Amino acid sequence: MYWYDFQGLMFLIPALLLSLIAQIVLKATYSKYSKVPSATGMTGFAAARRILDAAGLYNVQIEQISGDLTDHFDPKVNVLRLSSGVYQSSTVAAIGVAAHECGHAMQYAEDYGPMKLRGALVKSTNISSSLSFIVVLLGLFFGIVEIAWVGVILFGVVVFFQLVTLPVEFNASRRAVAVLEGYLPAEENKGVRKVLTAAAMTYVAALAGAILQLLRLITLVSGSRRR
């Protein structure tokens, strides 16, 4: 039991630290550039509408939602939702986040492969995430290692989803930076890159954390076979 607890901490602590550091960096960077007004005077909404229209995506609606950094593009209803702090603000951070979400709308319109794959994986990932640990524990409790390995495979789906998410997010950020080069001064574009890079690191940390969790499950199930 002591070995198991120590083993679990070996995987859990690095995962938590990576996630914590990524979130701290994101909040600090976003907070910094949320205080830097854009010389263009554009709000997040205005920037998003301008970018979408320039891409011919007139049918994509923009809605304001509550929350902090809850911005997202919903392909099911073709709606881009911006948090209040982004929708109404004319700061470098707000414009950068809005442009990033526009990048997702452009991906969807162009049938960008990784985005389509991620969308197809959402349901199976939700199911796998809910069942994986339960299946592993049931397999270990009843001493049926084969069932425990099914749980490991289920969690592997979660890891694969996180892996597919990376190119989707990085590509959306690259699109945002590229399109804003025509709208923002060079110094503001530099701020946008920093905000979007910090946001991207949270996805890298999420993938790393998922991989560590998968390794923990593999080690746990492998150890049970030896015992």
Q: Which residues are catalytic?
A: 101
SS (HEC) of the chain: CHHHHHHHHHHHHHHHHHHHHHHHHHHHHHHHHCCCECCCCCCHHHHHHHHHHHCCCCCCEEEEECCCCCCEEECCCCEEEEEHHHHCCCEHHHHHHHHHHHHHHHHHHCCCHHHHHHHHHHHHHHHHHHHHHHHHHHHHHCCCHHHHHHHHHHHHHHHHHHHHHHHHHHHHHHHHHHHHCCCCCHHHHHHHHHHHHHHHHHHHHHHHHHHHHHHHHHHHHHHHHHC
Angle at which helix 92-109 crosses helix 186-226, to 10 degrees, equals 60
Contact 147, 138 (CB under 8 A): yes
User: 227 - beta bridge partners?
Assistant: none
